[in-house]
């Protein structure tokens, strides 16, 4: 019997994206369709979402949703997919990004914007006596976590799953907002949203959800520790029996080098020579000289998580050994400034593109020789998966999903033909610069490099296995056997 699942999130491809969360939320409905799960996504009605929701129909109206008028509307995207949108102009019809104003500062009322999203989701699933339209709610990250909280305190009509895509973002606010959340006093405890005297939205979701998943098995283990738990490891340990790591997949309809129209030249593993045209195109876009050494690429948020400060330290080493670097990213101004200085120092060898550019991100995977992902922690990571699929060899730290998806080119794995990239232990100058030296040496051995590319392209990180794992979890929680 088909299960009806409401997926709730703050971003989803192709409507609104700032990172991997959007890729995953966008891909899940199609991935689950083969599992007899009908998943519909509820998103905030940002201008970009309203514009792409097609002709909409009102499903529910609220005179006051945590203080502002709102309605939930249903629409269809250009590809025919059904979508639910929280149309609340006072919350979401704003210039800027999903979380902050055009200058990048977080909106001061994010607590209310995303609590409203959670409330709307719980309402759609029958909380507080509303009509029950779904069998289960799947909430993503802190921005949707309050759905689990409102479900629990609204009568618990259906079970909920909370997926943590990144423990570093917790939606923690001052305790003064509690009375404005429309929750009973019983929610102001350590078993509810209270966290160190404030309101913890991710924490609230974690204690109210019926299952907690995260996006790789290694990260699921890591968040049990103080080093990766970001203060929430105690909550994870207390609920360890509900925690599961389900690896993200990649959407092959969007990310297939044989059909990707963002590439100058499409290719498959039997025709790696065709990648050259993409490399030439990249050199042009980034103003790079031609060179014998590998072209390293980076596609990343520019943050501490991603180890971009360590990248800055190794750039001279990378260039000194004959490598070149093309970076696409947006984020911390100080990291941008450091990168600009490096590009000044290494004209024609280091090229930068600041901002968000989906098409260029594809070309970089299709034309780069190796993608650098020196993250300090990485719940799953998608850019290394795209790198594998595109023959752009990943060079990654051994953490989270990076550890679960890339096989280091050590002699044993090279001998067996199973190696797919280069893995180093931590985001430090010593480890990262050694990894770059290894990559440059390996690149010089053309047959070995080609083997690495090909085994990466053979690795299957599609959604099938993960979709089956989510479907099995939903069925367990709803008590519905297939």
Residue 330 contact partner, candidates ligand ADP, ligand GLC, none, CB within 5 to 8 A by sort of partner: ligand ADP
Cβ at position 247, least distance to ligand GLC in Å: 9
Interaction of residue 378 with ligand GLC, rule CB under 6 A:
yes
Binding mask 207-246 toward ligand GLC (x if CB under 6 A, else -) reads: --------x-------------------------------
In the bound state with ligand GLC, the residue whose beta carbon lies nearer, of 236 and 380, is: 380
Q: What is the DSSP letter of 40?
A: E
161 closest CA partner among 204, 213, 214, 123 = 213
Q: 215: which residues sit within 8 A by CB, 6+ positions away?
A: 24, 163, 164, 165, 245, 246, 247, 248, 379, 380, 401
Give me the DSSP letters along 289-310. Answer: PP-SS-EEEEEEEESTTTTHHH
The answer, yes or no, to whether the previous bond of 14 is cis (omega within 30 of 0) is yes
366-425: which residues touch ligand ADP (CB under 6 A)? 380-383
Distances (CA, A) of 202 to 19, 232, 267: 18, 9, 42
Residue 215 contact partner, candidates ligand ADP, ligand GLC, none, CB within 5 to 8 A by sort of partner: ligand GLC
Q: 166: which residues sit within 8 A by CB, 6+ positions away?
A: 21, 141, 305, 379
Interaction of residue 19 with ligand GLC, rule CB under 6 A:
yes
Residue 356 contact partner, candidates ligand ADP, ligand GLC, none, CB within 5 to 8 A by sort of partner: ligand ADP
Cβ at position 324, least distance to ligand ADP in Å: 19
- Assess contact for 397 and 424: CB atoms under 8 A: yes
Binding residue count for ligand GLC, defined by CB under 6 A: 14
Q: 308: which residues sit within 8 A by CB, 6+ positions away?
A: 298, 300, 302, 329, 331, 332, 335, 339, 374
Give me the DSSP letters along 152-176. Answer: HHTT--S-EEEEES-TT---EE-GG
Binding mask 175-214 toward ligand GLC (x if CB under 6 A, else -) reads: ----------------------------------------
- Assess contact for 32 and 467: CB atoms under 8 A: yes
Cβ at position 347, least distance to ligand ADP in Å: 22
Interaction of residue 218 with ligand ADP, rule CB under 6 A:
no
Interaction of residue 382 with ligand GLC, rule CB under 6 A:
yes
Q: What is the DSSP letter of 8?
A: E
Residue 299 contact partner, candidates ligand ADP, ligand GLC, none, CB within 5 to 8 A by sort of partner: ligand ADP
In the bound state with ligand GLC, the residue whose beta carbon lies nearer, of 113 and 306, is: 306
Residue range at the interface with ligand ADP (CB under 6 A); choices 81-89, 95-103, 179-187, 297-305: 297-305
- Assess contact for 88 and 68: CB atoms under 8 A: yes
In the bound state with ligand ADP, the residue whose beta carbon lies nearer, of 266 and 383, is: 383
Rounded to an integer, what distance in angstroms lies between the CA atom of residue 53 and that of residue 181? 28
Cβ at position 154, least distance to ligand ADP in Å: 30
In the bound state with ligand GLC, the residue whose beta carbon lies nearer, of 135 and 378, is: 378
Rounded to an integer, what distance in angstroms lies between the CA atom of residue 229 and that of residue 227? 6
Q: What share of the chain is helix, strand, coil (3-state, %, to 5)?
A: 45, 20, 35
Residue 257 contact partner, candidates ligand GLC, ligand ADP, none, CB within 5 to 8 A by sort of partner: none
Binding residues for ligand GLC, rule: CB under 6 A, are 19-21, 24, 165-166, 215, 248, 378-382, 401
Binding residues for ligand ADP, rule: CB under 6 A, are 19-21, 23, 299-301, 328-330, 356-358, 361, 380-383
């Amino acid at each position: 019997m088909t299960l009806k699942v409401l997926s709730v999130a703050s971003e989803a491809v192709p409507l609104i994206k700032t990172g991997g969360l959007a890729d995953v939320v966008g891909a899940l409905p199609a991935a689950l369709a083969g599992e007899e799960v009908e998943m519909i996504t509820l998103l905030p009605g940002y201008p970009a979402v309203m514009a792409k929701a097609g002709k909409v129909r009102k499903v529910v109206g609220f005179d006051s949703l945590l203080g502002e008028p709102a309605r939930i509307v249903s629409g269809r995207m250009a590809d025919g997919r059904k979508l639910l949108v929280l149309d609340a102009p006072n919350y979401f019809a704003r210039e800027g990004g999903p979380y902050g104003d055009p200058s990048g500062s977080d909106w001061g009322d994010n607590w209310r914007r995303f609590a409203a999203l959670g409330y709307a989701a719980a309402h759609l699933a029958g909380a507080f006596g509303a009509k029950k339209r779904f069998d289960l709610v799947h909430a993503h990250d802190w921005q949707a976590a309050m759905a689990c909280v409102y479900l629990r305190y609204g009568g618990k009509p259906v079970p909920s799953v909370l997926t943590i895509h990144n423990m570093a973002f917790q939606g923690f606010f001052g305790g003064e907002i509690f009375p404005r959340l429309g929750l009973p006093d019983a929610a102001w405890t350590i078993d509810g949203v209270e966290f160190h005297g404030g309101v913890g939205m991710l924490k609230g979701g974690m204690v109210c959800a019926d299952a907690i998943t995260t996006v790789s098995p290694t990260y699921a283990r890591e968040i049990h520790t103080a080093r990766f738990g970001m203060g929430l490891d105690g909550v994870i340990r207390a609920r360890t029996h509900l925690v599961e790591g389900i690896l993200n997949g990649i959407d092959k309809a969007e990310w297939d080098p044989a059909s990707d129209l963002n590439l100058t030249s499409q290719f498959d593993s039997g025709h790696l020579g065709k990648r050259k045209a993409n490399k030439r195109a990249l050199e042009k876009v980034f103003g790079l000289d031609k060179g014998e050494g590998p072209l390293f690429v980076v596609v990343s948020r520019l943050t501490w998580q991603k180890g971009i400060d360590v990248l800055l330290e190794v750039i001279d080493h990378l260039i000194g050994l004959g490598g070149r670097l093309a970076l696409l990213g947006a984020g911390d101004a100080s990291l941008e400034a450091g990168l600009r200085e490096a590009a000044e120092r290494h004209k024609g060898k280091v090229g930068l593109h600041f901002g968000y550019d989906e098409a260029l991100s594809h070309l970089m995977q299709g034309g780069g020789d190796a993608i650098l992902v020196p993250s300090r922690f990485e719940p799953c990571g998608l850019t290394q998966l795209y790198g594998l699929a595109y023959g752009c060899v990943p060079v990654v730290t051994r953490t989270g999903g990076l550890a679960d998806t890339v096989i280091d080119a050590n002699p044993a794995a090279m001998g067996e033909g199973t190696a797919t990239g280069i893995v180093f232990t931590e985001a430090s100058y010593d480890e990262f610069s050694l990894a770059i030296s290894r990559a440059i040496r390996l690149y010089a051995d053309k047959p070995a490099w080609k083997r690495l590319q090909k085994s990466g392209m053979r690795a299957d990180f599609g959604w099938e296995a993960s979709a089956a794992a989510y479907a099995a979890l939903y069925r367990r929680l709803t008590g519905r056997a297939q």
